[in-house]
Amino acid sequence: MTVRLTVAQALVRFLARQYTERDGQRQRLIAGCFGIFGHGNVAGVAQALLQAHETGEADLKYYLARNEQAMVHASVGFARMRNRLQAFACTASIGPGSTNMITGAALATINRIPVLLLPSDFFATRAASPVLQELEDPRSYDVSVNDAFKPVSRYWDRIGRPEQLPSALLAAMRVLTDPAETGAVTLALPQDVQAEAHDWPDNLFAERTWFVPRPRPEPAALNRAVEVLRGARRPLIVAGGGVIYSEAGDALRRFAEATGIGVSDTQAGKGALAWDHPCAVGGVGATGSPVANALAREADVVLGVGTRYSDFTTASRTAFADPGVRFVNLNVAAFDAGKHAGISLVADARAGLEALTQALGGYHVDEAYTARGQELEARWRPVVEQAYHLGHQPLPAQTEVLGALNEFMDTRDVVVQAAGSMPGDLQMLWRARDPKQYHVEYGYSCMGYEIAGGLGAKLADPGREVFVLVGDGSYLMMATEIVTAVSERIKLNIVLVQNQGFGSIGSLSESVGSQRFGTSYRYRDPATGMLDGGVLPVDLAANAASLGADVLRTRTIGEFRAALAQSRASDRTTVVYIETDPLAPVPSSESWWDVPVSETSALESTQKARAAYEAAKRSQRMYL
């Protein structure tokens, strides 16, 4: 039996009938479709979505985004909240609509989060070429702007003929649902092919379940890992995002309790173990806590679980300073498990931790070593308390805003952030109580992720309050999805932190000898020729109100706390606005990040920074 549908209609019908299943729980794989229509998809995918809705046949709920990059971010926020078991599709018109998604694709792939991208493409027949927005590469008519998705996609295909669709769809679903391979999946859809009819075998549209595996470690690899761990005197766990996606928090806690090994976390892994668990030692690496970093420096064995060991996690390969340090890497992706010449333990985080707990029976670190972690932690806690309640004047410190939010939030509430000075402050200071509470996108650290990602997180779990933290720079880059939130009546709490520019890059600039050059949003001063004149007459709170959000302006931490309560009580998207001092003090992570400083310079500030850089660089090492 066959059924006659256009390529776009077949695509939508297929996507609506895909499911994932893990641990006996089954859910739709493609939960909905974000989109922005143009001539590339208005007659193809748009018609198919409309028809599916009107007939009630294989509906795929459509959400109109305001920016294509943002809709990919929202999809990532969604899929991350759903532990990669569900994803969104994104349809875009050809040309700029499609290429706007490339940044989102890179973000998804780097964070290992599934998203299905459906950029439109120029005519496969070339009947009207060059169509509006077609690239026209004189070397080859086969090239389109969508080729630029290739390096940032885990699967890429162009559907030049209807017959190619079934195999492309199966490959796309496989990659989306494979925890080791997942990321952005791109199916470029020429606009004429979208509208072309074909007779499809009807079993293409049978409900299909993609079983998300929990691969167990190979026994020999497990033995190798156990041998190294049994010999460890000062081991440390680095818990990454993989622990959370695998829902391995309990397995991690049981492993830590059985062995007494301290658990540090990465940006993606924070919350895997509640902050106040006796084995929790806080964030590790360049923006981590001095507790985890002291233990990392001394560690003889590092057990990385579900981590990709970014430069922030390893402090650019200076965090682990013991000359004989060895790595055991439990990861579902062999690529990550093999890093730092570690013992590769390719497995699902939960299955792997359970196997390790059993195989390591009887092993426990020395009491003295446990006591050392607890002692460091006891000294660190008052430092956090102080940062939370600094009483900085006249403007509050950002750490006070984060502290007030941390103290205000319920266990199940979610905080969303991505770029600027906040991810660092958060990784060091945030006290996460639930595996889904801390949602900081720090694989791509993309300014503009915050509001869009928050929208996706809220769509994924409407029962949780979502608190988006966004700096003025990120806000200016992409506040667009406030409008989507308003039109969909999706309630977000947005904390807008105004510090007149780039607090983060300002202090980084200072540390590399570049004197905060070009990092504040100020008038150009005619006397200096630099952007260090007066404060601009820019009112981001008024901007947010103009986009349809309720806005609460606050000046003090007391007002801020009251506004948070008001925002939570409301059912409308609310922006809580507060101005902070970008120069307020922040505790030190006692760590380092490799940002190369000019080797030669006419500026004294740069020369000084270079000397410090060379000294720090000496402690960097290859883990071989």
Footprint of ligand TPP (CB under 6 A): 419-422, 445-448, 471-474, 499, 502-505
**CB of 80: closest distance to ligand TPP in angstroms?**
18
**CB of 488: closest distance to ligand TPP in angstroms?**
25
- What is the rounded distance in angstroms from the CA atom of residue 127 to the CA atom of residue 190? 12
Q: Is the dihedral of CA 433, 437, 443, 449 positive or negative?
A: negative
The SS3 assignment for 38 reads coil
Sheet holding 326-331, edge to edge: 280-283, 262-265, 235-239, 301-305, 326-331, 343-346
Distances (CA, A) of 544 to 290, 375, 419, 477, 482: 37, 45, 19, 13, 8
- What is the rounded distance in angstroms from the CA atom of residue 327 to the CA atom of residue 304? 7
Size of the residue set binding Mg ion (CB under 5 A): 5
DSSP string, 159-177: --SGGGHHHHHHHHHHHHH
**CB of 150: closest distance to ligand TPP in angstroms?**
21
Q: Which is nearer to ligand TPP, 366 or 539 (CB)?
A: 539
The answer to whether residue 579 forms part of the interface with Mg ion (CB under 5 A) is no
**CB of 420: closest distance to Mg ion in angstroms?**
6
Q: Which is nearer to Mg ion, 438 or 475 (CB)?
A: 475
- What is the rounded distance in angstroms from the CA atom of residue 26 to the CA atom of residue 395? 50
Q: Which is nearer to ligand TPP, 17 or 516 (CB)?
A: 516
Q: Which does 344 bind (CB under 5 to 8 A by kind): ligand TPP, Mg ion, none?
A: none
- What is the rounded distance in angstroms from the CA atom of residue 293 to the CA atom of residue 316? 13
Q: Which is nearer to Mg ion, 497 or 549 (CB)?
A: 497
User: Distance from CA of residue 453 to its chain's centroid?
Assistant: 8
Site string for Mg ion, 523-542 (x = CB under 5 A): --------------------
**CB of 425: closest distance to ligand TPP in angstroms?**
8
Q: Which does 345 bind (CB under 5 to 8 A by kind): ligand TPP, Mg ion, none?
A: none
Choices 95-103, 199-207, 397-405, 499-507 (CB under 5 A): range interacting with Mg ion: 499-507
Tell which residue, 164, 148, 30, 170, has the closest CA to residue 95.
148
Q: Is the dihedral of CA 492, 496, 501, 505 positive or negative?
A: negative
- What is the rounded distance in angstroms from the CA atom of residue 538 to the CA atom of residue 18? 47
Q: Which does 505 bind (CB under 5 to 8 A by kind): Mg ion, ligand TPP, none?
A: ligand TPP
Choices 204-212, 234-242, 470-478, 532-540 (CB under 5 A): range interacting with Mg ion: 470-478
**CB of 542: closest distance to ligand TPP in angstroms?**
17
Choices 192-200, 460-468, 471-479, 485-493 (CB under 5 A): range interacting with Mg ion: 471-479
Q: Which is nearer to ligand TPP, 162 or 506 (CB)?
A: 506
**CB of 259: closest distance to ligand TPP in angstroms?**
37
Angle ∠(49,50,54) on CA atoms, nearest 5: 120
Q: Which is nearer to ligand TPP, 293 or 421 (CB)?
A: 421
**CB of 557: closest distance to ligand TPP in angstroms?**
17
- Lookup result for tokens 């702007």: 145
Residues 6+ apart with CB under 8 A from 203: none
| Residue of 192, 450, 472, 581 that binds Mg ion (CB under 5 A) | 472
Q: Which is nearer to Mg ion, 271 or 471 (CB)?
A: 471
Q: Which does 183 bind (CB under 5 to 8 A by kind): Mg ion, ligand TPP, none?
A: none
- Lookup result for tokens 């020429």: 190
Q: Which is nearer to Mg ion, 65 or 395 (CB)?
A: 395
- What is the rounded distance in angstroms from the CA atom of residue 6 to the CA atom of residue 17? 17
Q: Which does 114 bind (CB under 5 to 8 A by kind): Mg ion, ligand TPP, none?
A: none
Q: Which is nearer to ligand TPP, 12 or 395 (CB)?
A: 395
Q: Which is nearer to ligand TPP, 465 or 579 (CB)?
A: 579
Q: Which does 190 bind (CB under 5 to 8 A by kind): ligand TPP, Mg ion, none?
A: none
**CB of 582: closest distance to Mg ion in angstroms?**
7
Distances (CA, A) of 282 to 312, 325, 337, 388: 14, 20, 22, 16
Segment 500 to 519, residues that bind Mg ion, using CB under 5 A = 503
Q: Which does 452 bind (CB under 5 to 8 A by kind): Mg ion, ligand TPP, none?
A: none
Strand residues in 37-141 grouped as ranges (E): 62-64, 87-92, 115-121
**CB of 447: closest distance to ligand TPP in angstroms?**
4
Sheet holding 62-64, edge to edge: 62-64, 30-36, 87-92, 115-121, 184-190, 155-158
- 576, 579, 584, 590 alpha-carbon torsion, rounded to 10°: 40
**CB of 519: closest distance to ligand TPP in angstroms?**
8
Choices 155-163, 439-447, 491-499, 604-612 (CB under 5 A): range interacting with Mg ion: 491-499
Tell which residue, 31, 35, 38, has the closest CA to residue 16.
31
337 neighbors 346 (Cβ within 8 angstroms): yes
Q: Which does 504 bind (CB under 5 to 8 A by kind): Mg ion, ligand TPP, none?
A: ligand TPP
- What is the rounded distance in angstroms from the CA atom of residue 258 to the CA atom of residue 365? 10
| Chain residues in the site for Mg ion (CB under 5 A) | 471-473, 499, 503
